[in-house]
Amino acid sequence: MGLFGKIIGALKKTKDNISSKLSALFAKGLGDDFYDELEEILISADISVTTAEDIVEQIREEAKKEKLKDREYVIDLLKDVIEDTLLQAEQPKIEYPAVIMLVGVNGVGKTTTIGKLANYFVREKKSVTLAAADTFRAAAADQLTVWAERAKVRIVKHEEGSDPSAVVYDAIASAKAKKTDVVIVDTAGRLHVKANLMEELKKMDRVVGRDYPEAHFYKFLVLDATTGQNALSQARIFDEAVDLDGIVLTKLDGTAKGGFVVSLCGELQIPVVFVGTGEKLDDLQPFDAEEFTEGIL
């Protein structure tokens, strides 16, 4: 299965959730209740009320301007508007040397994602070092070591309970000495109510800026797609703490509510950069707005 097929397949539950509703709606024609019902369908896929209202208003205005009466044209218009919404947040182009810090709460699949991300860069012919800076959770470094071995990349780690920023410092020093292309930093699954853990994130942020200013620094939030709208509040909090550059979605194949991604890009202006499409090491794909739109409609 190609990359396109993987993303389409991962979105099957979301598509199944709304496609029959859309078919029934478009079969009725473009009557007075059409736009209200369309908004309800979008919200049922976990597109936020604000974003759904905005999408429907754009479609209403365009349909009126173009005097559209054929439902097929309106379907195409819906796809165009959703794709444009996804593209509102500009995708970061990863340049090298790069430091990528992954943040996120416990249970979203962050450690697994780091292994897949390392494998992705190895496939792109880049050298990779992992920094095991989640020193709070028992066995976190051991789990990351397993992924490092699977992806065949180096790892820098300290003892459990040590200073996470010291791990980042050592990983940077090692990467600079070996001219490594990418350093990927694991961080503790910091619950957003724990202010001290957020401060630790900011400290690691400062270490990279101070000790590796020549590197291109990216901060990606890992989000569990099955949490739907709750992911938006997580994204807001982490964005305030570290100024996010992008989002990596996991477990997209396990949700029927994939529409929240449209709200992430439209409301928060944070781009989705990678999507987890399954359990295998190579089941991580760069995000593509056109493919995503095709997958949900």
Q: Which residues are annotated as a binding site for GTP?
A: 104-111, 186-190, 250-253
Strand-pairing partners, residue 216, are 98
Q: What tokens does 295 get?
A: 């997958």
Binding-site members are 104-111, 186-190, 250-253
- DSSP bridge partners of 217: 99
SS3 sequence of the chain = CCHHHHHHHHCHHHHHHHHHHHHHHHHCCCCCCHHHHHHHHHHHCCCCHHHHHHHHHHHHHHHHHHCCCCHHHHHHHHHHHHHHHHCCCCCCCCCCCEEEEEECCCCCCHHHHHHHHHHHHHHCCCCEEEEECCCCCCCHHHHHHHHHHHHCCEEECCCCCCCHHHHHHHHHHHHHHHCCCEEEEECCCCCCCCHHHHHHHHHHHHHHHHHCCCCEEEEEEEEEHHHCCHHHHHHHHHHHHHCCCEEEEECHHHCCCCCHHHHHHHHCCCCEEEEECCCCCCCEEECCHHHHHHHHC
Report how far residue 35's alpha carbon sits from residue 41's, in angstroms, rounded to the nearest whole number.
Answer: 10
CA 17/CA 197 separation, integer angstroms: 37
Contact 24, 34 (CB under 8 A): no
